[in-house]
Amino acid sequence: MVNKRFSQDAANLIEFLAYGGFRKAEAQNITWADCNFKRGEVLVRGDKDTGTKNWSTRTVPMIAEMRKLLERLISQQDSKPSPETKVMKVSSCNGSLKNSCKKLMIPQITHHDLRHLFATTCIESGVDIPTVSRWLGHKDGGALAMKVYGHLRDQHSTAMAAKVIFKDDSTALD
C-alpha cells in the first residue's frame, strides 16, 4: 500500500530541490525562519553542526514557483508553522524519484539532478553564470559552473544571435 502522505511530502521535496538548487542536506535543514517572504529569499545554512558543504551561508532567491510552493505549504498547515519548524517534512525522495522515472520509462534521476535542473533552467532563462554559481553556493567565482554549464551559454548565444537584424537604413550610421 502506498503512503499518500509520504508521497505528497516527497513531491514537495522534489519541487523544493528543483526550485532552489539546494543540496539534499541543505534542504532538510531549512526552517520557516529561513524563508523571508518580504525579501523574496531563502537562507541556506545547512546542518547546525556541519553547516553547508563549504561552511558558509547563502541566500537563494524565491523564484515565482518557489514562492507558490512555500505559500501552498503554509496554507495546508492547521496553524502558522513556528519559525524553527523545518519546511520539508521528509529528507529524502529517492524512492519516489525511482518509481516515477520507472513509470515514465525515463532514465533515473537523483536529488542532485534536481540541482542541475535548477542551474540549467536559470542559465537558459538568462541568469548569468556567476550569479547562478553564488546561488548554488560555489566559492570559485563561477569556474565550476562555467565548466559544467558553459555549453548552455553558447547555445543561448547562438539562439540570441539569430534574433539580431540589421535594417538597411543608411541613416543609422549618421
Calculate the alpha carbon distances from 144 to 17, 27, 130, 132 in Å: 20, 21, 10, 11
Is pLDDT above 60 for 172? no
The band of 150, judged by pLDDT with boundaries at 50, 70 and 90, is: low
Picking from 56, 62, 16, 14, the residue whose alpha carbon sits closest to that of residue 36 is: 62
The percent of residues in the chain predicted with pLDDT above 90, rounded, is 39
* Nearest in space to 145 (alpha carbons), one of 125, 165, 116: 116
Q: Compute the mean pLDDT over every residue in the chain, rounded to the nearest whole number.
A: 84
Bridge partners (DSSP) of residue 82 are none
- The predicted pLDDT at position 85 comes to 93
Given this model, what pLDDT does residue 1 score? 42
For domain 4-161, give its CATH number from 1.10.443.10, 2.30.30.100, 1.20.272.10, 3.90.1150.10.
Answer: 1.10.443.10
Q: Which of 61-65, 69-73, 136-140, 167-171 bottoms out in mean pLDDT, i.e. has the lowest?
A: 167-171
pLDDT digit string, tens, across residues 32-70: 999 999 999 999 986 666 655 666 788 999 999 999 999
Is residue 129 very low, low, confident or very high in pLDDT (cuts 50, 70, 90)? confident
At 10-33, the pLDDT tens digits run 999 999 999 999 989 899 999 999
- Whole-model pTM? 0.78
User: What is the percent of the chain where pLDDT is above 70?
Assistant: 78
Residue 12 Cα distances to 70, 83, 100, 113, angstroms: 9, 19, 14, 16
**Band (171; pLDDT cuts 50, 70, 90):** low
Average pLDDT estimate for 109-135: 89
* 174 band by pLDDT with thresholds 50, 70 and 90: low
